[in-house]
Amino acid sequence: MNMKGYIEEAEAALLHTYNRFQLVWDKGDGVYLYDLDGKKYLDFAAGIAVFALGYNNKEYNDALKAQIDKILHTSNLYYNVPAVEAAKKLKAVSGMDRVFFTNSGTEANEGAIKAARKYAYLKDGTTDHEIIAMNNSFHGRTMGALAVTGTPKYREPFEPLIGNIRFADLNDFDSVLAQVNDKTCAIMLEPVQGEGGMTPATEDFLKKIRALCDEKDILLIFDEVQCGMGRTGYMYAWQRFGVKPDIMTSAKALGCGVPVGAFLMTEKVAEKSLVPGDHGTTYGGNPFVAAEVEKVLDLFEQEHIIEHVREIAPYLEQKLEELVEKYSCVVERRGVGLMQGLVLTCPVGEVTQKALEKGLVVISAGGNVLRMVPPLVISKEHVDEMVSILEEVFSVCV
């Protein structure tokens, strides 16, 4: 069957919750994708910041194959070796104390919300605690994660969601203070907003939030689903400024293609929040996904991924700044490390489509931002190739 046939069958069989690009991927290799017709594309989206190690990494693939031949699943009624090893390594790189493996980022955020509410409940026995989240944030599409997502268009069709959520503005400490009261149990934010427009939190803002939380025994939750796992030049974005959260969530590149997430917490929170019976998942942390997490963390160290991001990111930033200077339709660069965005005055959807036609995969964020979250293994040559294609697109958008 050709590509058109598969697309037609997909539209007839799948629930229409995505406006997909009209192509079908066949395979990937390194930082390139290939469609069913054999056309080659430079990938600067990485499955939405997922494929940190690129495609068809042999050591990664071999680790998954080896675990398939041993055992895939046992349930959390029992221990399994890969989960123990993965948790130990994740603790080491994250600086956190306890790990709960989930199946996705939104599930990790659900767990973080539950842990924060249980922590507050055990303090005073009441259930009317509040969480402060940020406007323009995105934490997922399940009902709890959606409730703390600061973009009304995502929330409104599904209300009422879980209650007692207040919203403030990222990098505006006064707006946070205005929402704090004696019922505030947690403040939740992305150290770099992804879907909301590739906006980093400032050092001053994060440090003030941390001090506020310490003063009032409010838990600080960082959603590192997109900005974590080396993307900013640090394993987790909070490490850039040394502002440690009480609870942290991780996913996307934690799996590098396998559906897995995690929420992590300090020992202080673990001792006074979730207990047996409070939370669970059938598939979370099974031997297959845990073996994958362990291998990804090994490869990050073995291939010096963090060091490579720090080396290549300034070059990418420089080239993007040159686009801002050169084209009137490109008004601003935002982002950190290999999590970058260009603010456009022309329709971002047209730009992503034209880039795709020319063999470049890029995506949008926040309505008018062109998002670039490539595999973390890109080279300067790949940056040059990406810029060359974008110049072709922008030259007709002026």
The DSSP annotation for 173-206 comes to: HHHHHTT--TTEEEEEE-SEETTTTSEEPPHHHH
Nearest to 368 by CA among 347, 391, 397: 347
59 Rama sector, left if φ>0, alpha if ψ -120 to 50, beta otherwise: alpha
Q: Are strands 363-365 and 360-361 parallel, antiparallel or unpaired?
A: unpaired
The yes-or-no verdict on residue 398 having pLDDT over 60 is no
Mean pLDDT of 350-361: 97
* pLDDT given for residue 366 in this prediction: 83
* pLDDT given for residue 115 in this prediction: 98
pTM: 0.97
* pLDDT given for residue 227 in this prediction: 98
* pLDDT tens per residue across span 369-384: 999 999 999 999 999 9
The yes-or-no verdict on residue 151 having pLDDT over 90 is yes
* pLDDT given for residue 23 in this prediction: 93
β-strand partners of 28:
33
* pLDDT given for residue 367 in this prediction: 84
The yes-or-no verdict on residue 189 having pLDDT over 90 is yes
Give SS3 for 250: strand
Radius of gyration over alpha carbons of the chain, in Å? Answer: 21
pLDDT tier, 396 (very low <50, low <70, confident <90, very high otherwise): confident
* Cβ atoms of residues 264 and 94 within 8 Å: yes
The yes-or-no verdict on residue 333 having pLDDT over 60 is yes
> What average pLDDT does the chain have?
97
pLDDT tier, 147 (very low <50, low <70, confident <90, very high otherwise): very high
Domains of the chain: 3-56+304-394 (3.90.1150.10), 71-302 (3.40.640.10)
* pLDDT given for residue 397 in this prediction: 74
Mean pLDDT of 344-358: 95
**Whole-angstrom distance, CA of residue 296 vs CA of residue 283:** 19
Q: What per-residue string of b and e applies to 252-271 under the rule 16 or more CB within 10 Å gives b?
A: bbbbbbbebbbbbbbeebbe
* pLDDT tens per residue across span 56-81: 999 999 999 999 999 999 999 999 99
pLDDT tier, 141 (very low <50, low <70, confident <90, very high otherwise): very high
* pLDDT tens per residue across span 263-278: 999 999 999 999 999 9
